[in-house]
């Protein structure tokens, strides 16, 4: 699966074109969840959760926004039973840990 790394933006071989490619900044996508019809992408280097609302064709982006950019590196995003769970990853030697890092944060509705 292609998660939008810049060198994979061009279609090659058996790959499909990515829905979104991050060339204007480094997101370092690390996890993805589908919740309420939208995609939520965890970013390690980008230190954020991104919400992508897809067009009806599910192959192009209608709207995108940056969420939760104050928790540091976000390792993963998972949807389960009406919630999104995100896990921070600041104690892996690359982030700037704060007291009580790392955490799993439960989000009801975005």
Q: Which residues contact 103 (CB under 8 A, 6 or more apart)?
A: 71, 87, 88
Of 68 and 21, the one with more pLDDT: 68
The model's confidence at residue 62, banded by pLDDT at 50, 70 and 90, is very high
- Domain regions of the chain by residue span: 20-107
CATH number of 20-107: 2.40.10
pLDDT tens for each residue of 17-30: 778 888 788 888 89
- Judged by average pLDDT, the poorest of 24-38, 79-93, 96-110 is 96-110
Task: Give every strand in the sheet of 83-88, ordered side by side.
Answer: 74-80, 83-88, 104-107
């Amino acid at each position: 699966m292609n998660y939008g790394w810049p060198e994979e933006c061009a279609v090659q071989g058996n790959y499909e074109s990515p829905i979104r490619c991050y060339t204007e900044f480094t997101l370092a996508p690390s996890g993805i969840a589908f919740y309420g019809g939208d995609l939520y992408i965890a970013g390690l280097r980008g230190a954020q959760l991104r919400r992508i609302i897809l067009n009806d064709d599910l192959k192009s982006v209608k709207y995108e926004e940056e969420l939760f950019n104050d928790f540091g590196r976000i390792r993963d995003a998972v949807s389960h039973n009406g919630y999104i769970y995100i896990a921070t990853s600041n104690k892996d030697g690359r982030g700037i840990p704060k007291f009580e890092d790392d955490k799993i944060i439960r989000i009801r509705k975005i």
